[in-house]
Chains A and B, each alone.
Chain A
Amino acid sequence: MTRTIDNVPNLTPASSRETLEEVVKRSVLLTRLEDLLAWGRSNSIWPFGFGLSCCFVEMATSLTSKYDLARFGSEIIRGTPRESDMIIIAGTMFIKMAPVVQRLYEQVMAPRWVISMGSCANSGGMYDIYSVVQGVDKFLPVDVYVPGCPPNPYAFVEGLNLLQRAVGTERRPLSWVVGPQGVYRAPLPARRDAKRDHRSQATVLRGPDEV
């Protein structure tokens, strides 16, 4: 079952002679409650303060001034999973650590999302080695994969933006007695496909011999 998804309405600029209807339209936000909730959720995704290895340093860097994760409402790092909306698997998933991560994930309150950051978390990456789980999606449901080893903080921010868009278009029941039950989410196509045309237009690549 699919549903149409309304965007949050734009507020139109005021004209000089307004009808009552126009005034109301300008000063009153009309939306469906579930849209409002989704909008709120998507702009206040609080991450759990949790890191595994190198990627965590780049994730932490995204909080600092140059990248400023606060622009997207996700700078509020929570010390406990029970207060967080999102867990970022930033780094290598070790077999010794996996049961701990599983328990931490279970403690994150629903609705909850998972970003897999970096090659190790995505697939094991360059560590096809006895002590490493070959991708965190072996045991956690991943919403967004951010490639890189480690991903540039900008890449992580892009991943977060994609998750925000997905969360903003996600529809959840308002209560267990209201409306149809179940979660509706828009598909998340691979960025590789979305960016292909743009990338293939590049004809001149900057050489490595100049700064």
Chain B
Amino acid sequence: MTGSDVFQDLQREFGPASGFAVQPVRDDVPTIWVPRESVTPVLKFLKNSAPQPYRMLYDLTAIDERKRVHREGQPESDFTLVYHLLSLERNADVRIKAALQGEYPTAASVTNIFPAANWYEREVWDMFGIKFDGHPNLRRILMPPTWEGHPLRKEHPARATEMGPFQMSAERVDREQEALRFHPEEWGMKPRGENSEYLFLNLGPNHPGVHGVIRFLLQLDGEEILDVVPEIGFHHRGAEKMAERQTWHTYIPYTDRIDYLGGSMNNLAYVLAVEKLAGVDVPDRAKVIRIMLSEFFRLASHLVWYGTLAQDLGALSPVFFTFNDRERIFDIVEAITGGRMHPSWFRIGGVAQDLPQGWERLVEDFLRYMPARLREYDMLVLQNRIFKGRTQGIGAFTREEAIEWGMTGPGLRSTGLGWDFRKQRPYGGYDQFEFDIPVGANGDCYDRAVVRVEEMRQSLRIIEQCRKNMPAGPYKSAHPLATPPVKERTMHDIETLIAHFLSVSWGPVIPAGEAFAGIEATKGNNGYYLISDGGIHAYRARIRAPSFPHIQMVPLISRGLIIADLIAILGSVDFVLADVDR
């Protein structure tokens, strides 16, 4: 990566006395502290005029630094803003950090540079109480509008059981319902046009067409959608706060439930980040097992998407077929891991267990079975005239728009850009596999569908290679921080006994530092930015989930269409609410 390059670029532009400082981190993302008043010019420069610019706002979050002990070499800060930018041209990231002082600090909004910052800044306000000057509509995004406090601040209680019993009185229902009432003028919407009065339609938070608990507020002129306001947060499970109290090891099950259709694949992003922090090596067999499971879950997730999209568009049979195929995948997953949707099976340093005897036959049977099914679904769905009519040319965006709004995964690839973490930045052993990156051309609903379907064929290719080339050897690292330790490193003498006891009962102590690991998940780029303060749990865990920016982009691609098209768009974007709200 070109870490020093970007620092030199910044020094060249802003001069050596501009107060920039590089922070050493455990991953390969250059991390640069800039004074808070320089954030806007720095981001402007990096996005617009730097050589090979950083055009994607990949993530924006904050850290409550007030209780952090290990901050060696970092400027004084109560709250730190972290801007994670991605350059497709450089194939590199940069992390810009700005220190804020005070209990409830204020920062300048960067929505005028990166429109995608809108939701991220609202999230930071909601979670940390940091205000952004110049933000067009700074209001809570995840918590209910009536909430008091900002949950990711260290003084905010984590447990529901610390906050007194939950009571649902009639007054409370009325109050909360009233707070959820939509006021168009708060979003700058006019109640009437030149010739007609607009209709405001509430879609969700409980509507079968929106795939979960999310609400879309539509401004309609007749049937035409003039504007959409997505309202999220109905599925906020406090996963980031949870990481601050679960040990590094016992947090793994929570990652399964982020993209709950992605199962073990979520584990991968998390354990890769922990392994970077701890410097744990992973044996080849564990790598290939992880890849095989991840690709099975990519298939399972895409099968759910395939069937439900077809169902949304009126084809009622495919969902039964694809769910049956998913059951076959789950038969294999269950034989290997013992679980179905959330096996929580990857471990720091490897996987929980070796593959069971006879796994090859199960995988081979599936590899023989599945391609013919996919061909059948091509005829049933992709070549279906109605399906084409409902999806072609609908919900299209350009490559530039996709990058501007932080779209990753099949959505970005449907615009013709073959950007895939598995190829661009091979992680966890993907560099050893042969597979193609399918791309689309038009960035519309249909192309997103075609890209996903082709991806399923590529996943089958990868699984086949896993089957044929499964390395022998251990399934877990012998590193002392691999958790739980391999049997050979337990209970031989007092040293191994104590190490085992501590790592199992207390949890592994991960060295202080920061690391990010991103993967190509089912919906797009999923990543964990972990900060250890040298303890048994994360000081701060940031989950960069793909569905969050994808939903933010929905209004852009829905305007001017009709409600039926919005349903097609939502189906084709393929999001999971736990991945949006975390």
Contacts and interface: CB of A to CB of B under 8 A. Distances in A.
Nearest to A127: B237
B319 interface: yes
B166 A100 contact: no
B168 A96 contact: no
Given A132-B238, A209-B356, A96 B233 contact: yes
A72 B578 CA distance: 31
B362 A211 contact: yes
Give the one of B168, B172, B319 with max A CB within 10 A. Answer: B168
Contacts of A176: none
B373 to A, nearest CB: 14
B134 to A, nearest CB: 27
Contacts of A50: 206
B423 interface: no
A83 interface: no
Nearest to B236: A131
Contacts of B362: 211
A150 B357 contact: no
* A interface secondary structure, majority: loop
B235 to A, nearest CB: 6
Interface in A3-60: 49-54, 56-58, 60
A130 B144 contact: no
Nearest to A49: B208
B340 A131 contact: no
Contacts of B236: 94, 96, 131
Contacts of A54: 257, 260, 341-342, 578
A114 interface: no
B6 to A, nearest CB: 37
Contacts of A96: 143-144, 233-234, 236
A97 B208 contact: no
Interface in B247-293: 253-254, 257, 260-261
Interface in B157-186: 157-161, 163, 165-168, 172-173, 176-177, 180
A210 B357 contact: yes
Contacts of B261: 57
A114 to B, nearest CB: 14
A211 B358 contact: yes
Contacts of B354: 209
Interface residues of A, number: 46
B206 A100 contact: yes
Given A129-B160, A211-B362, A139 B342 contact: no
A69 to B, nearest CB: 12
Given A94-B234, A104-B206, A134 B166 contact: yes
Contacts of B578: 53-54
A129 B257 contact: no
A97 B236 CA distance: 10
B335 interface: yes
Given A61-B323, A129-B159, A134-B160, A211 B206 contact: no
B205 to A, nearest CB: 6
A65 B323 CA distance: 8
B577 interface: yes
B327 interface: yes
Nearest to A128: B159
Nearest to B215: A100
B324 interface: yes
Contacts of B242: 127, 129
A152 interface: yes
A61 B326 CA distance: 10
A82 interface: no
B341 A133 contact: no
A53 B577 contact: yes
B506 interface: no
A208 B260 CA distance: 24
Give the one of A64, A99, A152, A208 with max B CB within 10 A. Answer: A99
Given A58-B341, A129-B159, A208 B353 contact: yes
Given A79-B208, A97-B213, A130-B157, A208 B338 contact: yes
A51 B144 contact: no
A203 B353 CA distance: 23
Given A92-B237, A96-B233, A128-B161, A53 B212 contact: yes
9 contacts: A53-B257, A54-B257, A61-B326, A64-B323, A79-B208, A127-B237, A130-B160, A130-B163, A152-B340
Given A128-B160, A129-B242, A150-B341, 15 more contacts: A52-B212, A53-B213, A53-B237, A54-B257, A57-B261, A61-B323, A65-B324, A96-B234, A97-B205, A100-B206, A127-B242, A130-B158, A139-B167, A209-B357, A211-B336
8 A-B pairs closest in CB distance = A139-B168, A129-B238, A99-B176, A54-B260, A64-B323, A211-B358, A211-B335, A96-B144
Interface of A: 49-54, 56-58, 60-61, 64-66, 77, 79, 92, 94-100, 102-104, 124, 126-134, 138-139, 149-150, 152, 208-211
